[in-house]
Chains A and B, each alone.
Chain A
Amino acid sequence: MSTTDTAIIRIDNPQVEVENLNLYYGASQALKDLTFGIPGHQVTALIGPSGCGKSTLIRCINRMNDLVDGLRIEGAITINGENINDPALDVIELRRKVGMVFQKWNPFPKSIYENIVYGLRIAGIQDKTVLDEAAEKCLKRAALWDEVKDRLHQSAMGLSGGQMQRLCIARAIAVSPEIILMDEPCSALDPRSTSRIEDLIRELRGEYTIIIVTHNMQQAARISDYTAYMYLGELIEYGPTQTLFTMPEKKETEDYITGRFG
């Protein structure tokens, strides 16, 4: 049904391609026949009311859903032409390519430094100079360096919420992924920290493909190039952010972005 929809634009040369994706939690279907492409090196925002399946979708892209019991997936997601739902695929390789930042920051109870280099250590890198350089580079990239450079070896638990979330972003980019998934990275932060993270996303854009879930309409408008609007597991409308926010094709989309929804 939605494949032929004019409200969903086709992307040429998408980096991530979702084809006829259906997802079931036991008997209940959470994603319904999604088909769309996500362009590389751009920011794509997923919006939609609570429970519409945004997190579920984003977690499919790095196979985070593998951890969930009783979950069943049909259809394909391809990244750079490779089907990641293929059971033979090396999930570890995939996750090295696709990083993730969670809604609730989750630094490990280790030092700031150890948090940053965790992914590198896991990948088998032991050379101290490499790790040190990576730590500095990523912390600078995440605009956190100046705040923490004097306490790299103190516990990450002593940071503020916003700092912890930036640390999690730095940690994700330390392993040089191609794609970064962000599931409501700012929803638990104050406006100042939020704007810092938005700045950061703008910074990272171009270098990484970023897929971000957000409940904040203005945020989606500010930082994303493309926006997808989902409702009850279906993709209702997908297009360049500019167009979607100013001239939505669908009534539902318009209702939602203008706040008339629900």
Chain B
Amino acid sequence: MTKKFWRQGEPFVWATGLALSLILFLTLLLFYVVLANGLAVFWPKKVALATLQDGRSLLGEIVQEETIPHNEKKRLQFKIGNRDLYGLDFKWVDASEITSLTYPKDVHVLERQEYGNFYGYLSEFEVKGIAPPVSGSNSLAQTIGALEDRKVEVHLLGKKIANLNRRVELIDHHLAKARYNKEENTPALAAMQGEKQGLKTEFEALVSILGEKSAALATNQAIFTDANGQPKAIALPNIVRAYQPNNMSFFAKCAYYLERLRELFFDEPRESNTEGGLFPAIFGTVMLIFLMSILSFPLGVLAGIYLREYAKDGWLVKMVRIAVNNLAGIPSIVYGIFGLGFFVYGIGGGIDQLFFPERLPTPTFGTGGILWTSLTLGLLTVPVVIVATEEALGSIPPGIREGSQALAATKLQTLTRILLPMASPGILTGFILAMARAAGEVAPLMITGVVKLAPALPLDGVFPFLHLDRKFMHLGFHIYDIGFQSPNVEAAKPMVYVTTLLLILIVLAMTSTAIYLRNKMRQRHSVVDV
């Protein structure tokens, strides 16, 4: 009986099934954790008012509950916010200390430009230059709304100043170049000097206007009180968003959720990245994958074609093949170091010596930037593309090649009209795998051009529009940065989940698109059974 059991390979079948279920379980667990935590972040949570035994009270969102095993005591963690008042955002309270727990309807939650959330009650307004606020449940929202135009004005002014700054910088570059080339007293130079002077005056005028306007704006404030009645004046323009979670209908909560999503996708981060949007990081991630693909895909395919179709089989080709296969196994940090040494310092430094000597020692290309990061990642993916191309070409039945050549096609015609279309699904499969790996890679980015906060996107409206020398932000690095490097890790936790979810979704979206394209191609060029 047992003998038969072993002979039929029953245990082996179990082992295979078990292995698969284990992998599936872990993957699903990962997805569940990320989804459950990431999706809930933006849903407005109720704010509890806890009255303690010593007569004091506190306001905050209940983040978690736990029971300490050895004395069976329950304790609750509150997010109490008000960092400018208390210094800490989070507080543990023993359940036994709490005498009552209520959810007052008139609690306000303020998302602020600095110091994180504020939880408290509205007591009075001090406003100038706008219609005095009416009292009522949404007076705060109305008053903030009335300031919106002026806030936008200040924001645009800031942008204008940044643009002026960049133009001045550009002129400075030209001037430095002229100085380096020993040009003096040319009319062009004088014109540039004049323009710079003009820009500078304009700049200073705008800065002082901006100062006045924002100061005037900041005098509009509201006085709030915290759970214990301590007053706190908060400038209205500092409030990003105000809401009353205990008094919101389901639809209001949905609207709030959507608004937060919009902010996530289209706004810039605040508060050392732990709040606000992720737009620059999303943009950087997608652009990096694009650049990396544009650089590595053609290179890998061409190299693969050469290896399979043109190189004479010999020991040299064998060595190259082994080397290429092994390249795929090198840790990514090693690629990063190579990228730093070769691309950034070597090529970038060389470019600076040749084309931007006047700016030295300030590097232009000789420092991390999105171009070097893309090249480094491209290097990381290229072996996979080469191997995939070789294998895809190699798996085409020889009869197909002969059939084409017997019809008087040249080798190149056979390649472009028959072989490559047939190999493309296989090539794309390899490329998709490589792309997915590269998209989630962080280590090599950290030393070749990613930064915590980039002042400008690598693609914008300033000539020459595509700034490949610029540093950029990336979701993967963002996770590491806010999750493990920020001073307030606890407060950043929700953002870590959201960022993780977003990164997974972006990689998923890009690979799904690639898979969709590949499948369409596969339908058109399905290979014979043979």
Contacts and interface: CB of A to CB of B under 8 A. Distances in A.
Interface residues of B, number: 25
B409 interface: yes
A171 B407 contact: yes
A126 to B, nearest CB: 14
A35 to B, nearest CB: 25
Nearest to B522: A109
A122 interface: yes
B407 A107 contact: no
Contacts of A95: 405-408
Contacts of A171: 407
A161 to B, nearest CB: 10
Instruction: State the majority secondary structure of interface residues on B.
Output: helix
A4 B105 CA distance: 116
B404 interface: yes
Given A106-B399, A122-B413, A157 B406 contact: no
Interface string B271-301: 0000000000000000000000000000000
Interface string A121-159: 011000000000000000000000000000000010100
B19 to A, nearest CB: 36
Contact-size category for A:
20 to 34
Question: Considering residues B405, B525, B526, B530, which has the most beta carbons from chain A within 10 angstroms of its beta carbon?
Answer: B405
Contacts, number: 68
A108 B418 contact: yes
A122 B408 contact: yes
A158 to B, nearest CB: 10
Interface string B502-514: 0000000000000
B209 to A, nearest CB: 66
B400 A106 contact: yes
Contacts of A185: none
B404 A108 contact: yes
Contacts of B525: 109-110
Interface in B494-530: 524-528, 530
A210 B369 CA distance: 66
Nearest to A114: B417
Interface stretch (A19-27, A96-104, A194-202, A229-237): A96-104
A172 B407 CA distance: 7
A109 B422 contact: yes
Question: Considering residues B313, B413, B528, which has the most beta carbons from chain A within 10 angstroms of its beta carbon?
Answer: B528
B331 interface: no
A109 B417 CA distance: 11
Contacts of B409: 118-119, 122
Nearest to A122: B409
B410 A168 contact: no
Contact of A99 (B404, B407, B417, B422): B407
B247 to A, nearest CB: 63
A155 B523 CA distance: 9
Interface in A168-185: 168, 171-172, 175
Contact of B407 (A67, A69, A110, A118): A118
Given A100-B402, A109-B524, 15 more contacts: A64-B402, A92-B410, A95-B405, A95-B406, A95-B407, A102-B399, A102-B402, A104-B530, A106-B400, A106-B528, A108-B400, A110-B525, A119-B407, A122-B408, A175-B407
